[in-house]
Amino acid sequence: MSLNAGARIGPYEIVARLGAGGMGEVYRARDARLDRSVAIKVLTSARAIDHAQLDRFQREARAIARVSHPHFCTLYDVGQQDGVPFLVMELLEGDTLAERLTMATVPVVRPSASPSRLPRRWMRPTARASSIATSSQATSC
């Protein structure tokens, strides 16, 4: 299910496509009821037919809902539209990890922010969130 800007999933209006992963596509959307931006993860329609993938998606939603931690996004809603499941989550603004790692290889003027220290500073919270996700059986955010 590929969505264009302006399309609606329940009360959410799609603004832009952010990316794709192993289970589906992620979009920036607007929740007009609460006046906030959200991220919506939509299971691709071809996979929605597969019962095992649908079960995995539902397990992921329950696992994410159990996690409450500053290094993990919050699950706001879960639903289905036209038989296609979706998750509505906190939208995390900023650079992707790949973009930050690329920036870290650029020479830095300030000695206190040497490139070798930057990835470690970003990876510690990521590793903590990964550990929490693993213990709660959440696979992605």
Write out the DSSP string of 10-70: TTEEEEEEEEE-SSEEEEEEEETTTTEEEEEEEE-HHHHT-HHHHHHHHHHHHHHHH---T
Binding residues: 41
- The tokens for 137 are 């059986």
CA dist 81 and 12 (Å) reads 11
Binding residues for ATP: 41
Do residues 26 and 40 touch, judged by C-beta distance below 8 A? yes
